[in-house]
Amino acid sequence: MKQNETAALKAAIAEVKKLRFEDYKRIDGEYREVLVPVEWFERDDQFLISDERGGPIVIDYYDYFRDTGGIHPDLIDAVEKHGCYWEWENPGAICLAY
């Protein structure tokens, strides 16, 4: 990977980690709407987000976010300014690409 690609990917990952999304969490015995970071993981030098690991709904291969190809628009905006984009890894996960 070229140095400029690595820098762009690192900057895009940092932007994604700053994002907060609405989710419901059990607090003091009742569920409340809270803002939480996206659930992400790394595998084989890839930065991935999956809706199958819990956390807020930010991708949905079948139903939500139809206008943006199944990906939450905030995720798209966060990485596009660094020249990156999301690719579907499988119906339950997206990976960051340059």
Phi and psi for 45 in degrees, rounded to 5?
A: 60, 25
Q: What is each CA distance from 2 to 6, 8, 9, 17, 98, in whole angstroms?
A: 6, 10, 11, 23, 10
pLDDT digits (tens, 9 = 90+) for 35-65: 999 989 998 889 999 988 778 999 987 788 8
What are the sequence ranges of the domains in the chain?
Answer: 3-97
Strands (DSSP E) along the chain, which ranges? 21-27, 30-36, 40-43, 46-50, 85-90, 93-97
pLDDT digits (tens, 9 = 90+) for 73-82: 999 999 999 9
Structural contact between residues 15 and 79, judged by C-beta atoms closer than 8 angstroms: yes
**pTM (2 d.p.):** 0.89
The whole-angstrom separation of Cα 77 and Cα 17 is 13
